[in-house]
Structure 1
Amino acid sequence: MTPLRGIALKLASVILFVIMASLVKAVPEVPTGEVVFFRSAFALPVIIVWLLWRGDLGTGLKANNLVAHALRGVVGVSAMGCNFAALVLLPLPEVTALSYAAPPLTVIFAALLLGERVRLFRISAVVCGLLGVGLVMWPLLTLGEVDARALTGVGFILASAVFRALVQIHIRRMVRTEQTSAIVFYFSLTSTVLALLTLPFGWVMPSMTEFGILVMVGIIGGVAQICLTSAYRGAEAALLAPFDYASILFAILIGYVFFAEVPTAMMLLGSAVVVASGVSLILRERYLGLVRHRARPGMTPQG
């Protein structure tokens, strides 16, 4: 697979995830736990077919550390549920922009939990990223009286960002012993089971239209997950990472066309600051990776 195909798959995953989010937003009457169930359950067949096609079903079913997979499921479902809850309460572009808080938080958690060194450049980029998130939040919280609905939505999406950052840290540990295919399969399986636990909290019988939308949420989510995983087989993570931020463009377009959501100037400014911060971090890490790679030939066997 060429890097160009990897980029194409990455962009496809970004577009599909935004479409999935817009579909979740289109069924506001369906409880969040129920939406999470459909997202996970109907992604499972797609993932199983993909694993069969790749000849990786045996690998996907092999788990060396079930506790790690269960923990990844709990934290991942929490991130997904908070994100879906926020989509009902906030405009799609704002949810997308605020979700960009996850990469700066990942840097912070990597320093606290993994002992990674964080130098001045990364600290500055993280601060700028969080400042951008604050700019996006500002209009939601200061237009006259504080809107309780908006405040709740902001709380949900920031909680989702925290959980997503923790998931990234946890996956960094998991890949030492677990195959990527197993991580993908068991997340969908555990999230389906965990979502079922919300059944006593008021699931509803969806209409035929809602049922169709919920099934599409699962299928599109599964395909997007496969596109994302496959993208990294053809291109380096540092090359693909900036394309995550293309999601804001698609979110603004879909939000405007289908939900009549017009982004504010402050939201656009904040998004630009967050994107600039994230891209600078990515480019810096890529540069340092190239420097380390060039330095290896001259290193001693102990070095």
Structure 2
Amino acid sequence: MTTPDVLTQLNQNRRGIQLRILSGFLFTAMGLCIKLTSDTIPLGQIVFFRSAFALIPLVIFLFLLGHFPRGLYTKRPLGHLARSSLGAAAMFASFASIARLPLAEATLIGYLAPIMMAVLAVLVLKEQLNARRLIGIGLGMLGVLVLTLPEISAPELNATRLAGYGFGILMGIFTAAALIQVRRLTATESPGAIAFYFVLVSMLAALLTLPAGWVAPAPSDLLPLILAGLFGGCAHIAMTLAFKYAEASLLAPFEYLTLIWAGMIDVLWFGTGLGLAFFLALPLVLAGAAVASSGRR
């Protein structure tokens, strides 16, 4: 017979899974909006819209929780600045990668972040380099090699795609470094404050690119730019709530659904086929991310 406590836990797990699936879908929708505007809107301007409009759902969410504005008080402003700057750099690199690669490939490279985090945890936090972590790093690097090998070995190099891979790897490094800093901040800082200052610093960093030449968005670009921010902000909230209701180990497999949605967008929206290298690299990168993450326990 199922007890009320078990039923409550099952309902919470189900809610957490639903929210994690929703967050992945919203992040993929955000990626679509970024890709739709990447040919006509400067990168810094895209980052600005993504950050500025993400503030709207984030502030509403924090206000409903009673965390705005008093929950934003911090004794560690430099820690927030370091985390937010690394996160902003990761956002710039991620959007640059999305602009140059099929969405599914850019999404797949994004899964390098846990692998890069395993490397940085050893170098920065002096954590132990155990066998599981070493295997995870090796699998991830092999996956990247498999993915990029067709471009590297081609008679004529495709500079755009190679740059996309390079930006994707940079994104993984910056994301991992940002997550290391988040681990340091969470001891004293609220998740809402960490998210808020990240969005704010990203928006200010994007403003620094204004002299490089922003453009007046066409009506066809304005809606995707606004939606990128709203989708991104709501996705972050959904992900935060998901981890409130269910454990990370239960939610982890549902994160990979974003690859399915990204692949469907590439095929159905952009008419871009996924090559053999992608499907060969897919299990290597995902297995590397899973093993490297488990190696931290």
**TM-score when normalising by structure 1:** 0.90
Q: Distance in 1 between matches of 2:19 and 2:153?
A: 39
Q: Is the 8 A contact 2:84 2:198 kept in 1?
A: yes
1:25 match: 35
Q: Is the 8 A contact 1:97 1:133 kept in 2?
A: no
- Across the aligned residues of Structure 1 and Structure 2, the Cα RMSD in angstroms comes to 1.5
Listed as ranges, the gaps of 5+ residues in structure 1 are: 289-303
1:2 match: 12
Q: Is the 8 A contact 1:60 1:185 kept in 2?
A: no
Q: 1:62 to 1:89 in 2, by over 3 A?
A: same
2:22 match: 12
Q: Deviations over 1:186-224 (max 9, x none)?
A: 111111111111100111110011111100001011000
Q: Distance in 1 between matches of 2:209 and 2:74?
A: 26
SS at match of 1:53: helix
Alpha-carbon offset, residue 281 of structure 1: 4.2
Residue of structure 2 aligned with 1:43, choices 45, 54, 60: 54
1:163 match: 174
Listed as ranges, the gaps of 5+ residues in structure 2 are: 1-10
Query: Displaced runs of 4+ in structure 1, greater than 3 A?
Result: 280-285
Alpha-carbon offset, residue 87 of structure 1: 1.2
2:101 match: 90
Q: Aligned runs of 1:67-146 on 2, under 5 Å?
A: 67-146=78-157
- What is the one-letter code of the residue matched to 2:47? V
1:195 match: 206
1:278 match: 289
- What is the one-letter code of the residue matched to 2:130? R
Q: Deviations over 1:114-160 (max 9, x none)?
A: 11112112211210121112211222333331111111111111111
Q: Distance in 2 between matches of 1:264 and 1:56?
A: 47
SS at match of 1:71: helix
1:177 match: 188
Q: Distance in 1 between matches of 2:196 and 2:117?
A: 23
Task: Give the % identical residues.
Answer: 36
Q: Distance in 2 between matches of 1:138 and 1:60?
A: 48
- What is the one-letter code of the residue matched to 2:82? L
Q: Is the 8 A contact 1:60 1:183 kept in 2?
A: no
Alpha-carbon offset, residue 3 of structure 1: 1.5
SS at match of 2:111: helix
Q: Aligned runs of 1:248-287 on 2, under 5 Å?
A: 248-282=259-293
Does 2:256 align with 1:245? yes
Q: Is the 8 A contact 1:9 1:231 kept in 2?
A: yes
Alpha-carbon offset, residue 59 of structure 1: 4.4
Q: Is the 8 A contact 1:3 1:235 kept in 2?
A: yes
Alpha-carbon offset, residue 88 of structure 1: 1.3
Q: Is the 8 A contact 2:48 2:203 kept in 1?
A: yes
- What is the one-letter code of the residue matched to 1:149? T
Q: Distance in 2 between matches of 1:231 and 1:225?
A: 10
Q: 1:82 to 1:283 in 2, by over 3 A?
A: closer
Q: Is the 8 A contact 1:20 1:220 kept in 2?
A: yes
Q: Distance in 2 between matches of 1:116 and 1:244?
A: 26
Alpha-carbon offset, residue 284 of structure 1: 6.0
Alpha-carbon offset, residue 279 of structure 1: 2.8
Alpha-carbon offset, residue 282 of structure 1: 4.6
Does 2:193 align with 1:206? no
Alpha-carbon offset, residue 244 of structure 1: 2.2
2:243 match: 232
Q: 1:230 to 1:26 in 2, by over 3 A?
A: same
